[in-house]
Amino acid sequence: MVLLETPPVGLRMIEPASSEEFIASLLTDALVYASNDLPVFPCHSPKKKGLCDCPKGEGCDSPGKHPRTIAGYTDPSTEE
């Protein structure tokens, strides 16, 4: 088990000022996890009105809650 000295931004519940700042905070969090040997993998995100940013759009049955890669959660990485 790896203990983080400082909780990643997402766990501190800081409201981002913009989508760019939100994406930057996700990257920061992912790098913190990876540097602590905690594997991460990219997921799709919900957009306004609860739609998914994946190619299925309105047809997605799990908006923002599924991997962006084909291997998904079975192929996480700690590479920075």
- Residue 54 as a binder of Zn ion (CB under 5 A): the answer is yes
Select from 13-21, 27-35, 39-47, 67-75 the region that touches Zn ion (CB under 5 A): 39-47
Q: Which two tokens stand for residue 43?
A: 């997921």
**H helix runs in 15-66, sequence order:** 19-35
Residue 43: name the closest of 19, 4, 79, 76 by CA. Answer: 76
3-state secondary structure of 46: strand
Considering only 9, 26, 30, 60, the residue that binds Zn ion (CB under 5 A) is 60
Residue choice 5, 52, 68, 77 for contact with Zn ion (CB under 5 A): 52
Contact footprint for Zn ion (CB under 5 A): 44, 52, 54, 60
